[in-house]
Amino acid sequence: MNTSGNISRNTVDYLRISLIDRCNFRCQYCMPEGAEFDYIQSQEMLTNSELISLLREVFIPLGFHKFRLTGGEPLLRRGIVDLVREIAALPETEDLAMTTNAYLLSDMARSLYDAGLRRINISLDSLDRDVFRQITGRDRWERVWQGIQAAHTVGFDPLKLNVVVIPGVNDREILDLAALSIDRAWHVRFIEFMPIGNTDLFEHKGWVDSATLRQLISDRYGLIESNCRGNGPADIFQIPGAKGTLGFISQMSECFCDRCNRVRLSADGWLRPCLLNESGQIDLKTSLRKGDGYEILRGKVEELLFLKTEINFKDRDRGTGEQKTYHRTMSQIGG
């Protein structure tokens, strides 16, 4: 099968790798209160050597050169610095990034940078300590802010801040969060709230569309389109004269399936073609451990890539009128 022709609109070359499903926070939109979690046991997680083998023998030969490490909280993964060093050292690695809540980052930023990590996204949903505690379930704002400052000092560039906007919770802070991009080369990303593993909260609070956020910021500061582009689906804008940028990830209001360039590998080895659709997953770990050759594994991934355009959020309810139920939370998917 020829992978160069299997995606009609986009080349899929970006793998998001969940290293662990555990987290030291309990964010409402990711690990909702009341949810019961059957955490992956360590022996069921891909080992570092298994992961490197999959990258080297399966994903890289199929054209993957961009990797992002996620969780749960990836800094909880044992041996994370060594793993970063191994991935960064692969000759084919063009881009390596990480998404973290930054709670452990102040102590690890230098080691991660020295290991070869250069790009980092940090979840920061509020500048208000009480609101931060409400969203994350933890009173840890100061420690997170220290982690952000450490990453800035070490030299991570770009340094991105991810904000999931929840109506009536942190939407009143949009202007203050946007202003973080003015005097620092920080890139703030506003993400529309998604109904993954948190149906009750989503139905109660709803979501704010990116167009509304852009208008709010434009009315206050002005807003222009930016020439900066990243690996992801964000539409990038800039406050005039700002050092950083503002991105808007609009998976609910402005479906970007047609330009999706990524697939996701869970900590227990399931490869998922679409964040918002649970069909079409394949179990690479089991195949690897039972001795299937890399040629067989590559064939399975090729088939998934071939089907990717048909397995996306845009088409999830076509012809059914049914609301989609997601069996894994965001922390388990590694979104």
Dump pLDDT digits (tens) for 74-133. Answer: 999 999 999 999 999 999 999 999 999 999 999 999 999 999 999 999 999 999 999 999
Tell me what pLDDT residue 226 has.
87
Residue 189 three-state SS: strand
Q: Give the span between the Cα atoms of 210 and 198, in whole angstroms.
A: 20
Residue 323 is predicted with a pLDDT of: 41
Distance CA 335, CA 319 (A): 26
pLDDT of residue 197: 57
d(CA 96, CA 145): 23
Please tell me the distance from the alpha carbon of residue 309 to that of residue 273, in angstroms, as a whole number.
9
Q: Is 244 helix (H, G, I), strand (E, B) or coil?
A: coil
For residue 278, what pLDDT is reported?
A: 66
Classify residue 285 as exposed, middle or buried by CB count within 10 Å of its CB (0-12, 13-18, 19+): buried
Pick out the chain residues at pLDDT < 50. 1-9, 204, 314-326, 330-331
| Residue showing tokens 């379930």 | 137
Specify the CATH architecture of the domain 3-316+327-333: Alpha-Beta Barrel (3.20)
Q: What pLDDT does residue 192 have?
A: 87
* Residue 284 near residue 54, CB atoms below 8 Å: yes
pLDDT, position 237: 97
Extract the tokens encoding 197.
């593993």
Token pair for residue 287?
A: 């195949």
